[in-house]
Amino acid sequence: MKYQTTTIYKIVQQVNNGTICLPAIQRKYVWDESKIENLFDSIYADYPIGTFLIWDIPNEKINDYQFYELLREYNELSDGMFNKKRPRPNVADASLQAVLDGQQRITSIYLATQGSFTRKKNRARVNNPNAYVKRYLYFNFLGNFLNNAAIEKKDVIANEEEASLVWFKMMSEDDVLKANANGCSAWYKVHDLMSKEWVDQQAEKFESSFRSIVSDEVWNLFFENTAANQMKVFHCVQKLINKLHSDPTINYSEISNPNLDEVAEIFIRINSGGKVLSKSDLLFSTIVSQWEEAREKIDDLIRDVLELKYEIDTDFVMRACLYLTNSPILFKVGNFKTETIQTIITAFEKKDGSMDIRTAILKTFQFLKNELKIDNQVLKSKNVLIPIIYHIFKGGVLDKSSRADAQNFIYVSLLQKVFGSHGDTLLTQLRESVSNDGIFKLRNQNFNYQILVNGIKDKQKKVLYTVNSDVVESWLDKEYQESDSWLVLSLIYRDLPYAYQSYDKDHLHPKSKLIADNFPPIINFKDQVEPKINTIANLCFSTEEDNRALKRDRELEEYVASHTDSNFYKKFNHIAEDTSLALVDFLQFHEQRKAKLTSVLVDQLSILIDDSSGNSEDENIIVNYPVQALPIDEADDVEQEVIDQEINDITLNSQLIGLRVGNFSYIVTNKPNTTEVYERFLRFIIDNYNDLIPGNEFLNKIFKTDPNDSQFGRGIHYNRIRTYAGYCYTTYNDTAKKETIMMEIIAVLDLGEYMFIR
């Protein structure tokens, strides 16, 4: 290998004239704005940016393989995400070099100095064109001097070595206008410094050129009668110009090899040794060495899925290829032999019209859009779709009942975070559960949730798929800032036209109105109201117009009263007709809507609720008074009188109706039911002491991950075992047994003094 150096300017010219390109084995460009900024910070600070590996392609081989151009404009809204094919010339080029290692860096250098970077804002929706912003790389020739000196009009600028300088930033033109506000026009587009007019200028000519780009305000602020400051800033700009034009910034090694197979092997060894690429990256490289059209075919599929308003990447496609061709999901590069790759090539796209991988993937996303109306934003893990793709690929049907099962599988998998880790193993087990042993033929033509889940061997994963009303209720405790809250709301509002309309996640009772001053002293705002403000029961989906123009921070009661059809508004948002919308009644509103939403979710997911414990859907916890944060002997007379009256009203016999632990009252129920208190207490322990359970010998006896665990005992029937947040526990028939367990847990966890309320 020969080691050489070159300049940024020469690399850019090579991209412009097409003499530097990408081999098909390279993957897509994946860097974001921050990485571009960091790259140029490193270049400017004289830090090493790594050695590039270039394949110097022999003339006689240039037309033997397909090559791709480097990106010149990155644009997520169009084809700017995909590298274009480099046309094959009639006569072999005199010179052609392909980037084997360094694609991300070279592409970033080009986009920053010649092109632009268009990307959607964080959390923005795929189908909103206004969310995509075009950015360029800007250089702040004052570094952070503005922060130190501009406002106070100081004459002394900090030394470059002593300051924490901010030199580069990817910004839109609007961003620059704001950054250069108040006359401080210190940000300059790097693209404009690529002009040759900046090179080899004499000092006085350079000063004149620089003066032409500096506003009078900045000039007078920093440079008037301050020659030393002028020279320091001139030096900063000149340093960048040298980095762009004349300094040997790029270090690269060069290989000459006529055989793409051998080049691919070098590429794989380099990247696998340094663990830069994922296993699917390396598999892709191996496939491309035998399937030249792989990059083009996969990019075309990704484009077609994007047309349906969903985002997938090459990793997802490659994983689906392995799954659908019955290949091992857990893989190593060396395990992929020629026959495996040939199977993928044959199955990917068929000319006879029979089912192929491409069609199965597209049909799945069409099914999501047209039948289930599931939005791209909901799909936090695309791997959840692979069993459905497999079902379609193998000739399965999706009738009315199958659609419900597919919906259940997607939402439960996502909300229970089943694919959070070890996804490859789970996918393998799911494939085996629906296929006849050894021949990978569907056992059932209809997509069946229960058949799919029953084949899972991982007990903890399997438990997560056992959903009941307790689990559903736990989903409603998710808060506004949690990404899963969007997922739950999308299920509650599943019939909205997500493909054509953007929606805001909004508070029903405005957060700005839910403050302590708006509630009577008898209500403990911090402990009773505050924890509920951002939970699902107070959230809804609304159009941007409703949220930002009409509703804003108006009180819910006032807004609904002014609505064209207040009854429709209530029904649409699952608010019972007799529910009070007054702000002061927020606690009752929250409990009633939570019960309603539990019913809605249960109905949406077609979940059969096990009510054998005596619980009913319309039970409400009575926590309307400030008892949670107050020891009973410190509550004032009025509050204690109210609490005592409440307890007396519902104490019908000696069974437990509540439990007070430490300095808070944990629960008071509205009916005498020891089981209710017991179960709510155990759920509280799971929610708050989850990380202690696996390592605690006593807690491990109470909470288990398998409902069939033999330690539950012969006398325990399955219908007396409850599942909550991944753990199982038994309710027992014996009231004394339940009370004993609660006392022991309180002691083991040292929760403080307790009192049973009867």
Q: What is the pLDDT of residues 339-366, one digit of tens each?
A: 878 888 999 999 888 999 999 999 999 9
Domain boundary among 404, 435, 465: 465
| Residue 108 and residue 40 share a domain | yes
| Residue 141 and residue 103 share a domain | no
Q: What is the pLDDT of residue 152?
A: 41
Which structural domain range is residue 138 located in? 132-232
Count structural domains, the chain: 5
Indicate if the pLDDT at residue 615 is higher than 70: no
Indicate if the pLDDT at residue 509 is higher than 80: yes
| Residue 191 and residue 266 share a domain | no
Could you give the count of Cα atoms lying within 13 Å of 86 in the half-sphere of its Cβ? Answer: 27
Q: Judge whether 145 lies within some domain.
A: yes
Q: Does the global pTM surpass 0.75?
A: no
| Residue 682 and residue 568 share a domain | no
- Integer CA distances (angstroms), 506 to 374, 501, 509, 535, 715, in order: 19, 15, 9, 11, 48
| Residue 210 and residue 301 share a domain | no
Q: Judge whether 629 lies within some domain.
A: no
Indicate if the pLDDT at residue 590 is higher than 90: yes
Mean pLDDT computed over 31-43: 91
| Residue 524 and residue 476 share a domain | yes
Domain boundary among 240, 274, 308: 274
| Residue 415 and residue 498 share a domain | no
Q: What percent of the chain has pLDDT over 70?
A: 74
pLDDT in tens, 444-459: 888 988 888 888 888 8
Q: Judge whether 240 lies within some domain.
A: no
Domain boundary among 559, 589, 604: 604
Q: Judge whether 15 lies within some domain.
A: yes
Q: What is the pLDDT of residue 301?
A: 95
**Res. 271 pLDDT band, cuts 50 70 90:** low
Q: What is the pLDDT of residue 204?
A: 58
Q: Judge whether 631 lies within some domain.
A: no
**Res. 163 pLDDT band, cuts 50 70 90:** very low
Q: Judge whether 407 lies within some domain.
A: yes
| Residue 404 and residue 287 share a domain | yes
Q: In whole angstroms, what is the distance from residue 341 CA to residue 290 CA? A: 8
| Residue 192 and residue 293 share a domain | no
| Residue 123 and residue 137 share a domain | no
How far the first Cα of the chain sits from its last, in Å, is: 84
- Integer CA distances (angstroms), 429 to 40, 158, 435, 439, in order: 46, 62, 10, 15
Q: What is the pLDDT of residue 222?
A: 61
Spatial neighbors of 177 by CB under 8 A, at least 6 apart, are none
Indicate if the pLDDT at residue 376 is higher than 80: yes
Q: What is the pLDDT of residue 200?
A: 64
| Residue 649 and residue 590 share a domain | no
Average pLDDT of the residues of the chain: 78
Q: Judge whether 102 lies within some domain.
A: yes
| Residue 154 and residue 55 share a domain | no
Mean pLDDT computed over 646-659: 54
Least confident segment among 88-97, 113-122, 391-400: 88-97
What the block records as the tokens of 672 is 């005498």
